Each structure stands twice: as structure tokens, then as C-alpha cells.
Structure 1
Amino acid sequence: MRTLLINVLVFTFNICFLATLVHGSNNHERKSYIVYMGELQAGAQITSLIQSHNNLLSSAIGDQKLARESKIHSYGKSFNGFAAKLLPDEVKRLSDEHGVISVFPSTRRQLHTTRSWDFLGLSETTKKRNLSTESNIIVGVLDSGIWMDCPSFSDEGYGPAPAKWRGQCVKGANFTGCNKYFSMVYQPDIAAPGIDILAAYSKQTTITGYPMDKRRAVFNIISGTSMACPHVAAAAAYVKSFHPDWSPAAIKSALMTTAIPMKIKDETAELGSGAGQIDPTKALNPGLVYDLSLSSYIRFLCKEGYNSTNISLLVGGKKRYRCSDFKPAQGADGLNYPTMHLQLKNPNSTISAVFHRTVTHVGYQSSVYKANVVSPEGLSVKVYPSSLQFSHQQQKHSFKVTVKGGSMANETSILSALLKWKDSHDHSVKSYILVYKGGLMF
């Protein structure tokens, strides 16, 4: 019995000793942490930020040389902070520092894919191609950061340019600088891969953009809307190859109404992800589209208070457009857009708006679409008529959406509803309806 007791005590001591050793080794093992210091101050210079990060780290570690070796990266573009390999006691000291909001472990993330087109369901080997039309499509790119010598612009392996190409920029009636317009319409409209994208890069700046960085390359791993936009542009060109007669508005509508909803918990998710993530193959057959003509844009601009001179500058050309020559735009927004938005001028205002929309049938069969609405408590959304019957392609039908509700609670800044037009051929044409308080930034 005594021998058994001794063995148990020895075993217990060994377990405790092992646990102590393991715990001790963790206390002396440097691990990667992110030191988050909040938003960037206006006018903050990256050099001064880096210096403040280095000073903070040296103070916590107590050794400048070791601090330099432990430093991984300084963040000074989207937020203020840095990454470093730290010991537990150093994490504690940094957490107690004034100006440090939080210190948390840097975690490894599993890549969704190494090919963004596979992620979007449009692999390189897809059989859904219209090769004869593809070769006759011209894609215009407007980007101030283009580096023309980049290998991405090489035309090696491509056939001749389309016969209609005249070797200079194609200009049309596209509105790219109307700030008042953007305040009325869902921005962004759509989401696409834009995080850690291998992209063409300018030699005019260094890889990190930091003054002490001397490295330059024609490709870089970048994140941002400039990475997402080319995916959407390519998806639009893909849809255009199957529907060469569709307008830009029809293509945009197809991409928006067939997009995959994104699961984001943030209340302002709809303002950050738009109608969802693009699904290029689904956009080929949206069922219905919200189309826009030149006169539609002009009527909208007239409703927004633009005069003949401003409209002519936006549209281009020598023709003068007078608002009196056009039928007034209807509804709260006056635009036949795939989404509907109401910005409350007063946070305590009651909700009341009417939206007028017209859809064009682009399906291959006669169809009956029925409206399905999902709305939160306190927001009433009605659709008139609630059923639309189409017998042939390009047939148009108009409908009206009324949105009503009381004043929004103080803690609520956005109310979001969803209208789906569904038929028996597996079409589901989604339109988001958003009501938000004035002053909300997006």
C-alpha cells in the first residue's frame, strides 16, 4: 500500500513538473501579436508612426536590438498599429500603455482559393463561353494607377483587335462624377474578391509605399476596391459576350439581382457589401432586368436639380438637353434601379416612400413572377401589382413599392428589406430595400 502511495505521489509530481515545464516554455516563447492603436489621425505620417511603434516596442521589451528583431510590420494605411513577436509579460505591458486599444494574437487564415475565378464559380476550363462574340468585345479601363509597361497589358497570344476599334478612347453617356447621384444610390452596388489579390503594380512606387522601402516590382499582393473592380468589369464583359445587345444598365442589373448574399454580422453590412458577391454564370440568365436609357438618366438628373448646362457636360456632345422636354421622374428616387433606398432627413422622421420600377423580361419562356417580401418588424413593404405575367422576351411591366413605418429607434440606424420576384423556372430576382438615417457615412 505504501509503495502504491509513493508511486502515485511520484506520478503526480511528474505530471505537475511536466505542466510547469510546459507552462514555463510558453512564457519564454515569442508569438506573433497585433497591437491595435485605433484609427489613423488626420495627416499622420508613416515615418512618425513607425518611429512611435518602435519606441513603444523598445520600452515594452527593454532592449532596442531585440525590439527591432521582434518587429514584424507597422500598419499605417487603414489603421494605426503594428505586429510583433512578443512574450506574455510584454503583451501585458503593451496592453497597459496609453494609446493601445488592444493586443491580440495574430492568427493564420486558411486561403479560400488561390484563383479568384474559381472562387466565383467561373473556372478557366468553363464550357460556358461564347468565343465568337468574345473576340469582338472592347473593354475600356479607367484607372489613374495604370503602368502601361506591366506584363498584364501584353497582347501576346491574342488575335487582332475588333474591326470596330479605332485606336482611341470610346466615350459615352456614362456618369462618373456626379456626387449627388451617389448619395441616392446604393454604394457599393456589388461585392467581388478584393483581399490579397496578386495584381499588376506600378514601378512608380515601392512595394509597401513606405519611404525606407526601395523595392519595386510589376506585381504585388494588394487589397482594396481597385482589386475588386476588375473582377466585376470582367464579369460584365462575360455577360456581354452572351448578350451583346444588352445595355450597361441591364448587365449591371443582372449582376446585382443574381448576386450571392454575404453573411456579415455588422449592422451596416448592406452598405459595405452591396447586393452581394457576383455570380457571373447566374447573371447570364437573370430572368428580369431593370434597364435604363439615356432619357432615364436625364429625367433623374432633372429631378435632382441639375440644369441644362450641367446635364450637357455630364452626357457629352454638343446637344443641349432641357428638363422641360422630358417627363418628370417618378417616385422617391426617380431612377429605375435594382435596389431601393430612402435616407431619412431627420432621425425622428416617420418612414414613407414610394418607388416606381419597370422590369424587362429577358428569359426564354413565358413566365409569371410573384412578389415575395421579407421585411423587419416596424417596416411595411407592399408591392402593386404583386404578380407580373410575361409572354415574350423584351416585354416590360411596371410596378410600385410602398414603404411605410414609424420613426426608427435611437439605437437603430438601418432597416433592410428584400423583394424577390420568383417564377416557376428557378428565377429569383432580388432587390434590396434600405432605409437609413441621414448622416450615416458609407
Structure 2
Amino acid sequence: MMQVYIVYMGSLPDGDPAYSPLAHHLSILHSVVEDRYSPENLLVRSYKRSFNGFAANLTDMEKDKLANMKEVVSIFPSRTLQLQTTRSWDFMGLTEEISRNSSIVESDIIVGVFDTGIWPESDSFKDEGLGPPPKGWKGVCDGGKNFTCNNKLIGARHYGYESARDEIGHGTHTASTVAGNAVKDVNFYGLANGTARGGVPAAKIAAHQVCIPCCQDHTLLAAFDDAIADGVNIITISLGQLDPINLDEDVIAIGDFHAMKKGILTSQALGNLGLGIASVSSVAPWILTVAASNTDRYFVDKIVLASGTTLVGNSTNTFVLNGTSFPLIYGKDAGTKNCTAEDARNCEEGCLDSDLVKGKIVVCDEIQGDRAAYKSGALGSVTLNEVGYNVSLVPLLASTTLMKEEYNLVRSYMNSTRDPQANIFKSEVIKEPGAPTVAYFSSRGPNLILPDIIKPDITAPGVDILTTYPPELPITVPQDKRRANYNILYGTSMSCPHAAGASAYVKAFHPEWSPAAIKSSLLTTAWSKNHTNNNISTGAFAYGSGHINPVNAINPGLVYEASEEDYINLLCTIYDEGKVRQISGDKNSTCPIGSAKGSAKDHNYPSMRAKVEPTNPFSVNFHRRVKNVGLANSTYKAKIFLNSKVDIKVVPELLSFKSLNEEKDFDVTVVGSGLPDQSQVSGSLVWSDGVHSVRSPIVVYAYIQQKQQNMVS
């Protein structure tokens, strides 16, 4: 039985003009496949522009033969990846009035969007006042039939599909979040009026349709191959695996390693597996991994009982009921004969009797009960938010979602009267003073592949995000008759382009900065979060270095730089020297031997984390270096903030710089008495010169148990 395998061969060989990747790939295939098959017919895709490799239909036996070839770094099946505004940028401090390094510089930045495509006619992608693509752009507009690019949407590619037009809505939403034009007077059925815009409204967009909606590894790797060669500067990927996998089989880690070598920063969605420990699947240190949090804008919806009691729920309800009150019915009392009582009370689809719910508001014990209520012809629904989700879902009919205490009041009222009635009002927007908090659906660390690298890196707005949407698509499920130019979505898919936009904003001020320097600036200037819980699904394992703050990131003072050589040294802690040479493309590169090899915790990361054995006393040392990008003559003093009973020392405590781009080394030592399994101790190091505050979280944790079952949002 055949299936598509990806054969990764590392970097393209340098200095050999006679080398033909395609010919080499076909030659390799010819040496392993049976005579009755043509290598050309088995080859799915040849990666030959930015790195070396191919995808082909192979049997298990042929796969095993290839795995033993010296040219092959890794071979693995092409897996399926998952798809993971008017207020969010203001909330992050990036207002319309904020200082920008001229639209001319910003318009030279090209953002590659890997997603479900794009809706080119949207106002967010018009090109009034924008100049032509930058001189270095080598891409194409291969959008398919009836698809036109312009000086905003400068490139489009599709991989195995008819066109790059977005038939899902996801890609249009993420593209406009990162770099959409500023469009005034935008709202969602009268809610949340304001200006919809991306983080870098003058930047160019290159859309790569890799999902409709399924996303295959081999097409995503092809998008990397093209985008790197085409000349993009930032890549945003709101996709990911359900589980973490080794770096040499993770196509996003592979593709972005070669993007990093060309100075391209990639932002990736963390994943939506919720509160489960070790649910993060984006683990490579050269990727900016983004968690999701809320903003201070919150959609609420009121239900008024006929008894006079008003209860407030959270939903984005666009419907208005014509009348003063309507009968309430419990899902269990409206169940069909072919369903269990439990399925009926949860309002599972197909379990509500249309005759019993017509003209009534159905009360459901499950948060998505509005779908069954809608399909059965009910007038409205009240659903239970038992877990405490901090998301206002867009229902299919007049509906509100109540927390358990308020929901129980509705049930008590229904049990206390013979004719319970209520009315549900259209949603309204209120201010959420507790924001930002990490979303319930956002995946958590620790990092199972590189336990000494903190993931996620940072959190950004990913809850109730309003921005551009294809006007011909339903705004929720296919049965929804509503259409809109702007829609509200949630997920780490929405937080990822916010971080990409922030990265592009920083790059506009510092075009010469490396991806690692941009990433460091975002992490060390993030809004810090207070953390007192020692469980490893909380703290930095939930939000990384904190909530993104793009305005401060343009002037971080110090950055933790990491060169290609630094990443090669990190790979040396995982793989043998031969494999590292193939990945790097440097035949002369060598790996340290013995104790000099170090570990991932020695990588010059802007955060510090180490895994230790449970219950044993520990002493952990982190070696780091920082580059001065602030004031030429400056002295930084170290200050430690602690949330745990642990001793942290920094040597030296003062760093004095005499020039810009000067680098200084320091060591951090953490000593503790021992940790229970699945617990952590944490603190932070802040370097300050009186102007800048450069903050790095420090975490030591214990975790020996197998990965647990995750909550899927």
C-alpha cells in the first residue's frame, strides 16, 4: 500500500552549478521503486528552491530503503495539520496614531500567509496609495481563475487546488489581522463598531493556500520552498499538529529553519488543545510560538425571566426577538424518542422534537446546544457554560450562554412555575477589566521535544477577534443564512497573526535585525503576568514571557541574539554531526564533543527553563549573552523577582556597555530543595538601565509522567 512520504535532504548544496535537485530526486526514486512504476509518476513534489527534498508516493519497503541512504536526513509520512480587528490592536497599544517608521519602509515588508487562501476583493486588500512590490520580490500571482493581485496583495499561490480564493474564511481573517488596510466603520451586525486594520496596514501580502480545510505536510513544505525563494520577510502559520513531533519530521520546524537562515521570522499558532499538560505542538526554538488571550472588549447577552430576574451571559447574539416573553422548555422535556434523556438535555443534534420546541426557547446543558435548537426550529436557546469558557460564541439563533450559577437560576425558575417564560436580548459590548487572561482553549507546555525551551513564547489576542471575512460564506455553519464582510472568530489561529503583525512592526523600525533579535524584543518587553500557582499547566507554560507589547518592542534596550551557528549548536545536542551537516549545508561544521556539547538550556534564548528530577535538590546554571541595542553608553543592573522559595543569583550583577551592538555574557544559577512531580518554581530576571527593562522568565520544573489526555476545544 502506498502513501505520500516526505524525504527531507537538508540544505541545497552550495557552489555546484551542475547540480539539479529534480534530477537527483528522480534518480533516488529510480533506485528504490519497482520497475513497473515510473519515478515521474510517483513524485508528488520536488523541493528545490530553498532547501532539498521531495514528496513521493511510496510503499513501506521503498520508504525503508530511502531511510538508509546517506543523502536522507529524515523520511516521514505527509500528515494532516489542523487549522488552529477592530479593538485588538488598540488594546495592545498599537493605536492608529502610534509612531510608525514611515509607510514607505513598512510597505517594503512582505508577509507570507499560509492558510486557506484569501478573498482578494475585500476592502482590507485594496491598494489605493500603495507603491509596487519591493525590488527583491520574486513571487507570482498564481491565484487561479477570476483572481487578481495588486500592490497590496502582491502574490498568491495554490497547491493542488483550483485557486487561491478562500472558500473557508480562515485565511482571509488571518491575512487581514496581520496586514489588512485600515477600514473605518466596521461592525458585526451593529456590534463592536470601529476601524478594522492589521498590525502593519502598509505591508504587502503573499497568500499561500495550503488548506481547504485539510492541510497536508507536503503542500505546506512546498509553500515554505516558494515563500523563502520569493522573498517574504515574515511568515504567519495558523496551523499545527495535534501532537509534538521530532524536529526533523516537523515540516513547519524544517521549513522555518531554512526561512530563519534567510532572515525570515515565522509566527505559529500554539494549538487549541486546552488545559492539558504538554499539549503544545509548536516546539522549535527558531519559531515564535503564540498562545491566545482575551482583550478588554467582552460580548455579553442578557436574558430576562418573566419573574423579573435579569441574568447576564456571554455570547455574540445578533438576533432580536419580536415580543416581550416566550415559553421556556428544557431539552430533556423536548427530546425525541430515538435519543437518550442525556442527549436530549444536552440538546444533541437530532434529539429535539420540532413540534415541542417551535416558538420556544430551549434550555440546554451543553454550550453548543444552539445548533440543535436552530435545526429543530426553536425560537431561541439558553446554554450552559460549565467549564467557564472566556469566549462569546456566535450562535445560530437568539441565544445566550450562562455560567453554572446563573444557569441553575434559570432551571430553578422553570421548576417553580407552571408557565416559565423569558426574553433574550441582542448582545452588547462591555469592558473586561481583568484582561488579558489566557484563553481556556490555548494549549499548554511543557515542551516534550525540547524540555529546556519554554513554549509558548508569548500570548496575543485570540478571543472574539473581528476582522475581514469573505462575504459569500456563511458566518458559522453551512446552514447559517447570514453573510457579512467582517466576522468574529477565536483561537490561537487569531493570536498568531497578531504576533506576526507585531513582528513586522518591529522589523519596519529595524530592517537589519535577525529573526532572533525581533523575537527577543517581543519577549523581553511583554506585559508580565502575576503567577502564584505551581502547577505546570499555568504560568509561563500557559503564556510564555507574557502578553505581547509591540510598541515597547521597538526599543528593547538589550536583545538575546541567536545566529545560525547557535541553532546548529543546539541541533548538535539532538542529532549526530553528519545529520547536522546535511541540515545546515556546511560540510565543514563540527559538533562539540562530550560535556562541551551542552543542552538546549544553554541556547541563548530570551527565557530560561530547565527540567529536573522530582524530589531531588537541584542547582541549575543558565549561560546567556545580550547585545546592546539601546543607548551606546549604558549600565544595566540585574534584579530578580521571585514567586517561589528558590535562590537565584546572577553573575555579574552589572553589565556596562560602551557602544551599540556590544555583547556581554552572564550566568544565572537557580538552587532549590526539590520539586514534586508536575510542579514548578519560577521567577524572572530584569536588566534595567533606568530607561529599559529587559525581562526574562526563569522556570525550573519536574515532569516525568506520560502525556495526559488533552481537552480539545
- Match of residue 301 from structure 1: 571
What is aligned with 1:371? 638
Q: 1:147 aligns with which of 101, 113, 118?
A: 118
Which has the larger displacement, 271-280 or 393-402? 271-280
Supply the distance in 2 between the matched residues of 1:178 and 1:418 (Cα, whole angstroms).
21
SS in 2 for 1:233: helix
Q: Secondary structure at the match of 1:355?
A: strand
Q: How does 1:101-140 map to 2 (within 5 A)?
A: 114-140=86-112
The CA deviation string for residues 176-232 of structure 1, in whole angstroms up to 9 with x for no partner, is 8766655432111111111100134478985334x6546565642111111111111
Cα contact 2:602–2:624 (8 A) shared by 1: no
Pick one of 422, 431, 435 that aligns with 2:696: 431
- 1:342 offset after TM fit, Å? 1.1
Match of 1:164 among 122, 133, 136: 136
Match of 2:456 in 1: 188
Instruction: Give TM-score, length-normalised by structure 2.
Output: 0.41
1:169 alignment partner, SS class: helix
Change (3 A) 1:169 1:129: same
Distance in 2 (alpha carbons) for counterparts of 1:201 and 1:310 = 43
Q: Distance in 1 between matches of 2:600 and 2:465?
A: 39
Q: Could you list the per-position Cα deviations for residues 401-429 of structure 1 after superposition, in whole angstroms to 9, with x for gaps in the alignment?
A: 1111111246x7121111011113x2111
Partner-residue secondary structure (3-state), 1:364: coil
CA–CA distance in 1 between the matches of 2:500 and 2:100?
18
Structure-2 separation of matches of 1:204 and 1:325: 57
Q: Is the 8 A contact 1:184 1:341 kept in 2?
A: yes
- What secondary structure is seen at the aligned counterpart in 2 of 1:308? helix
- Cα distance in 1 for residues equivalent to 2:606 and 2:472: 39
Please state if 1:415 is matched with 2:681: yes
CA distance in 2 between partners of 1:431 and 1:223 (Å) = 28
One-letter amino acid of the structure 1 residue matched with residue 681 of structure 2: L
| Residue of structure 1 in register with 2:508 after alignment | 241
- Give me the whole-angstrom Cα distance separating, in 2, the residues matched to 1:269 and 1:231: 21
Question: Residue 11 of structure 2 aligns with which residue?
Answer: none
Give 2:452's aligned amino acid: M
Aligned equivalent of 1:288, options 558, 574, 577: 558
Aligned 1:26-37 pairs, distance under 5 A: none
User: Are residues 139 and 312 of structure 1, via their aligned partners in 2, closer, same or farther at CA, if it must alter by over 3 Å?
Assistant: farther
Contact 1:192–1:231 under 8 Å retained in 2: yes
Query: Structure 1 pair 116/376, CA: closer, same or farther in 2 (3 Å)?
Result: closer
Contact 1:120 1:278 in 2 (8 A): yes
Q: Name the residue aligned to 2:522.
A: 255
- Aligned partner letter, 2:692: H
Alignment partner, residue 107 of structure 1:
none
C-alpha change, 1:326 and 1:235, in structure 2 (3 Å) is farther
**For residues 228-266 of structure 1, what are the alpha-carbon distances to aligned partners after superposition, in whole Å with 9 as ceiling and x for unaligned?**
111111111111111111111001101111111135666
| Residue number among 482, 485, 493 corresponding to 1:226 in the alignment | 493
Structure 2 unaligned spans of 5+: 1-84, 140-225, 230-257, 261-265, 269-281, 285-447
Q: Could you tell me how far apart the structure 2 residues matched to 1:434 and 1:138 are?
A: 35
Does the alignment pair 1:197 with 2:465? yes
Cα distance between partner residues in 1 of 2:120 and 2:616: 55
The amino acid of 2:667's aligned partner reads K
Kindly indicate whether the alpha-carbon contact (under 8 Å) linking 1:308 and 1:322 is maintained by their aligned counterparts in 2: no
Shift of 1:146: 3.2
CA distance in 2, matches of 1:399, 1:150: 53
Contact 2:451–2:610, Cα closer than 8 Å, also in 1: no
Which structure has more strand as a fraction of its residues? 2
Paired residue for 2:610, among 342, 350, 354? 342
Is the Cα–Cα contact under 8 Å of residues 301 and 311 in structure 1 kept in the other structure?
Answer: no
Which protein has the bigger helix share?
1
Structure with the bigger RCO (C-alpha within 8 Å, sep 6+) is: 2
Counterpart for residue 273 of structure 1: 543
- SS of structure 1 residue aligned to 2:602: coil
Question: Residues 531 and 643 of structure 2 are in contact (CA less than 8 Å); yes or no, is this contact kept in structure 1?
Answer: no
Is contact 2:450-2:600 (8 Å) kept?
A: no
Q: Mark the CA change 1:166 to 1:213 in structure 2 (over 3 Å): closer, same or farther.
A: same
Query: Secondary structure of 2:511's match?
Result: coil
Q: Determine if contact 2:644/2:681 at 8 Å carries over to the other structure.
A: no
Alpha carbons 2:86, 2:467 under 8 Å: kept = no
By how many angstroms is 1:379 displaced? 1.2
Q: TM-score, normalised by structure 1?
A: 0.65
Residue in 1 aligned with 2:9? none
Q: Is the 8 A contact 1:370 1:387 kept in 2?
A: yes
2:227 partner SS: coil
Could you tell me whether the CA contact under 8 Å between 2:107 and 2:130 is conserved in 1? no
Judged with a 3 Å threshold, the aligned counterparts in structure 2 of structure 1 residues 173 and 129 are, in CA distance, closer, same or farther, namely closer
* SS of match in other structure, 2:609: strand
Per-residue deviation, residues 136-169 of structure 1 (Å, max 9, x unmatched): 222222x333335462444444221111111151
The equivalent of 2:658 in structure 1 is: 391
Report if the CA contact (8 A) 1:372-1:420 is conserved.
yes
Paired amino acid for 1:196:
D
In 2: Cα distance, 1:212 partner to 1:347 partner: 52
> How well do the aligned residues superpose, as a CA RMSD in angstroms?
3.2
Deviation at 1:337, TM superposition (A): 0.4
CA distance, structure 1, for counterparts of residue 575 and residue 592 of structure 2: 15
Give how far 1:326 is off. Answer: 9.4
